[in-house]
Structure 1
């Protein structure tokens, strides 16, 4: 009969062998309204075999007079990308940045940490996200099964899309 110590050693070894790899696979940045924004940098950089960094630089030409809304959608690939778990619409970006009142959006935006200059309103004219690696710690808070995913973020003003960022990533579980 196995002792309690042997059980915990085996469990610890199993947990150690169960590794999760998450990395970005693609990014698309679309400035739908050229009077609103121009995107000068939108790309991924392969740092190591399993490490990819994302960088984004967008210039806001003229911030509209009125609320800019943000919509975040988490999609999973299954014969195309299909809605998966979250489809959140925030009616005012500045109001959200002030109150931080949605858990999913909080997880995503808090993971940017020191890699971005967007933390509160007024939003700077130049939005920068540099050397951002996939935050694997998010998977402890929000466990997702292995697969290919996409996070679409759309910004709109008066119900017309002005900018969109599509980030694609993959999660792989090794045992």
Structure 2
């Protein structure tokens, strides 16, 4: 199972921003070696059964998702973002998932 992940920032349309990776999902769950995907999955950790190594059998479920900004461990500028995931199984396209969100920096937050 592989996933092509892209992140876009809106500026006169969505423009590529920071992330464009191809990920072997089975290898990732054995080694956890892609930091961006780790951050992305932390948003869904409590809301999905997609958290084990391959093989995947049965239905994968994501429900009741709440995006918690404290889980985002990277500084990001204020703006509209889109994360696009294209999923493949044995190099055959299976599904696309697009997650769009608006992020607002808290400039008054003390570190």
The verdict on how the C-alpha distance between 1:89 and 1:124 changes in structure 2, with shifts beyond 3 A counting, is same
SS of the equivalent of 1:131 reads coil
> What are the ranges of 5 or more consecutive residues in structure 1 without an aligned counterpart?
1-67
Q: Distance in 1 between matches of 2:98 and 2:63?
A: 16
Residue 80 of structure 1: how far off its partner (Å): 1.0
Q: How many residue pairs align between the two structures?
A: 106
Q: Using a 3 Å threshold, how does the CA distance of structure 1 residues 124 and 114 change in structure 2: closer, same or farther?
A: farther
1:104 aligns with 2:24: no
C-alpha distance in structure 2 between counterparts of 1:153 and 1:146, whole Å: 22
How large is the RMSD of aligned CA atoms in angstroms? 1.7
Q: Does 1:165 align with 2:97?
A: yes
TM-score (norm 2): 0.84
Of Structure 1 and Structure 2, the greater strand share is in: 1
CA separation of 1:173/1:93 partners in 2, compared to 1, >3 Å: closer, same or farther?
closer
TM-score by length of structure 1 reads 0.55
1:78 to 2:11 alignment:
yes
